[in-house]
Amino acid sequence: MKRLTIVLALMLAFSALSVAQNNSSYEAVPVEISSVRAERDGAWFYVHKVLPRQTLYSICRAYDVTQQEVYDANRAGLETGLKAGMDLYIPFHEIIGHETTEPQPSGETAPAPAEPKPETQVQQQPEPQAQLQSEPQPDPGYTVHRVKWYETLYSIARKYDVAPESIIRANHLPRVDLRTGQMLKIPTENYQYAVEKQVNDDFAEQVVPGEPTEEPLMVTEEEQPFDEDQFIFEPFSGKAKIALLLPFKSRSSSPASNYLDFYSGVLLALEKIKADGTDVDLKVIDISDYNDLGTLATDEILGDRDFVIGPVMSADIAKLVYYCNLRRIPLISPMDQQAERLAADNPSLIQAPVSAENQIARLVQSMGYRSSSQDNVIVIRESSNDTTYFRQVEKALNKAGIPYRALSYGILEGRRIDATLSSTYLSSNKANHIIIASEKESFASDAIRNISLLSTRYDIVGYGSNRLRNFETIELEAYQNVSMHFSLGYYVDYSRADVRDFVYKYRALFNTEPGAYAFQGYDLMNYFTAALRKFGKGFTRSLESFDMSLLQSNMHLERVSPFGGYVNKATKDIVYLDDYSIACE
C-alpha cells in the first residue's frame, strides 16, 4: 500500500519537477576574471564572455558584485536569460584575493557589448589617485565602511552597534538594498546619539491645537525619511508564484517517501486554493539533484517567486537565505527546529515548526498561574543525570516569574514518594500543578502513577513532555485522573470536519492514509498563500497579526528582532479528560 502511494506521488512529482530538472544535471564551471575592460557612461566595467554552464550566481560571486548590478548594466541582453557566448558588463569593484585591485589598461579591444552604445570604448584607466579622491574621507563623526557582497544594512548596523536608521540618514539612502563596494559613512558614538535624538524628535513632534505652527520645510526627494513600506508593498497579482525545494531523491531507486507525502499534501492544498479562485504557478525542485544549493540562488530560478518553501535542513537553508534577504523573498523553513537559530540575522526567514523551548514556554503558560495563595507548582525530576528537560522547564518557569518547588528522587525510591508528596509538597486548599520534568519512560511512568493515586485526595493537574504520549507503560487512565496537559507542535483532531474532508480526499487520490508530512505540506501551502492573497507581496510585515488554526498545527508568528525573521510560537494544547476524550485547546 505504501509503495503504491510512492508510485502515485512520483507520477505527480515528475510532471512538476521537469522544469527544475532541466537545470539540475550540471555543475557551474569556474569563472575567471576577465582582462578586458571598457568604459561606458563614465563608469568602468569588466567585459566577461559567458562560457557554457556558467551561471549568473557564480559570475557574481567571482566578481564580488550583486546580481542586480549585473542586471542593471545588461538589461537588454539579459531579457531572454543568460546565454553562452554573450558579453556581460560587470561593474568594477575591488576583487578580494586578486593582486590587481584597480582596472589596468589591457591593450585589448573590448568585444561588442550586449547593449552597444556609440560612446562605449576601451580607454586607459584613470590613475588610482583620481579614483581614491572620490571616496568618502575620514570624518570625526563617522567611520567609513566598504560594503562586502554578503553584507546587508542590518548586519552592518549590528557590526557597528548603531541603528539602521542612523546609517540611512547619514548616507541619504533611498532604499535598504546596498551595492557591493559601496562606501558608507557609519556614525560614531557621539554622532550616533545626535542622529538618534533627531529621529526621536521627528516622531515625537506633535501639533498642539491653538498653538502657532511654523511653515513646513521643503525636503528634497533625496532627503525623504526612509519608509520601508514603499519598497516592499506590492498588491497580490492574482497568481501565486511559489517554489518548493525538497530532497525527493526522485532519480533514486528509493525515493524519499516522507517528502513525497509532503508534496502530496501540497497538491491537495493547490486544489483548494485554485477552487477559491487563486491561480498558482508552482515550481518544484528536487534539491537532491544539486551538489551545491547555492546555484539555485539566481533570479532565473527564484527571483520571481512570491515565497519559497524549503529546503528542510538548516545547513541547506543557510545557503539560500542570503539571496532571499536581498530579494525580499520569504523563505519558509518547514520542519527543522534547528533552523530557528538563523532567524535572528535573516529577515526573510520564517520558521514554521515550533521549537522545544517555545513548546515548554506554552506548557507553563497553560497552567494559568494566578497567585501563590491559589496555585501550588511542583516540579518532579529524577535525581540522576536526566537534567536536560528539567533545565528547560526551570528556565521557562523563571522567565514567567512562577514560584515552584522541585522534588528529586531516584526510580528505586518511587514506592515511598507518594507519602513525601502528601506530607511536604501537596496542598489541600490550592490547585496543585505538577510538571513531570523527565523524558525517561521508566521514571515518567512511576511519577505519573504516584500523582494519579493522589488525585483522589488532592486537586492535581499534570503537565509533561510530548514524548510521554508515546510511552506504552503509562496507562491512559492515569492521564485522565490528573487531566494531563501537553503543548504540541503538531496534533490532528480527527473530529474536525475539515480534517475529515482532507483525509477522505487524500485516501481517494493516494489510496492510503495521510501522515504528518502530508498534513504539514497542506497546512503551510494554505497558510502562506492566504497571507499572500490578503496582504500582497510584502505579506511578511503583517504576519504577526495573521494567526490561523490549521489541520495539524497553529500559526502565530513573531518577529525575532528588528533585523531578523519570524518564528512560530503557536502550539496545539491538549488535555486528557475523564470521559476518555482529548480536548484540543
CA of residue 218 relative to chain centroid, distance = 40
**Element counts in the chain: helices (H) and strands (E):** 18, 21
Q: Are strands 183-187 and 142-146 parallel, antiparallel or unpaired?
A: antiparallel
Q: How many CA atoms lie within 13 A of 238 on its CB side?
A: 1
Would you state the pLDDT for residue 562?
A: 83
Would you state the pLDDT for residue 292?
A: 86
CA quadruple 415, 421, 423, 429: dihedral, nearest 10: -140
Q: Does the domain at residues 135-204 carry the CATH identifier 1.10.150.20?
A: no
Distance CA 98, CA 428 (A): 77
Take residue 230 and report the three cell numbers written for it. 514603499
Grid look-up 570625526 returns 140
Distance CA 241, CA 306 (A): 5
> Do the domains 359-488 and 241-353+498-560 match in fold?
yes
Q: Where are the domains of the chain?
A: 37-131, 135-204, 241-353+498-560, 359-488
Distance CA 585, CA 583 (A): 6
Mean pLDDT (the chain) is: 79
Would you state the pLDDT for residue 58?
A: 76
Query: Which is nearest to 12 in space by CA: 262, 267, 309, 289?
Result: 267
**For the domain 359-488, what is the CATH code?**
3.40.50.2300
Count CB atoms within 10 A of the CB of residue 406.
16
Would you state the pLDDT for residue 394?
A: 94
With 0-12 / 13-18 / 19 or more C-beta atoms within 10 angstroms meaning exposed / middle / buried, residue 23 is middle
**Which option is the CATH number for 241-353+498-560: 3.90.1300.10, 3.30.70.260, 1.10.3720.10, 3.40.50.2300?**
3.40.50.2300
Would you state the pLDDT for residue 103?
A: 40
Collapsing DSSP to helix, strand or coil, 424 comes out as: helix
**Which option is the CATH number for 37-131: 3.20.20.70, 3.40.50.300, 3.40.50.1820, 3.10.350.10?**
3.10.350.10
pLDDT tens for residues 113-160? Answer: 444 333 333 334 444 333 333 444 445 567 788 887 667 777 787 777
Grid look-up 486554493 returns 273
Phi, psi of 433 (to 5 degrees): -95, 115
Would you state the pLDDT for residue 204?
A: 37
Distance CA 454, CA 361 (A): 26
Of 187-191, 227-231, 353-357, 418-422, least confident by mean pLDDT is 227-231
pLDDT tens for residues 459-510? Answer: 999 999 999 998 989 989 999 999 999 999 999 999 999 999 999 999 998 8
Q: Output 231 or 411, whichever has higher pLDDT.
A: 411
Find the angle CA(138)-CA(143)-CA(149) to the nearest 5 degrees. 115
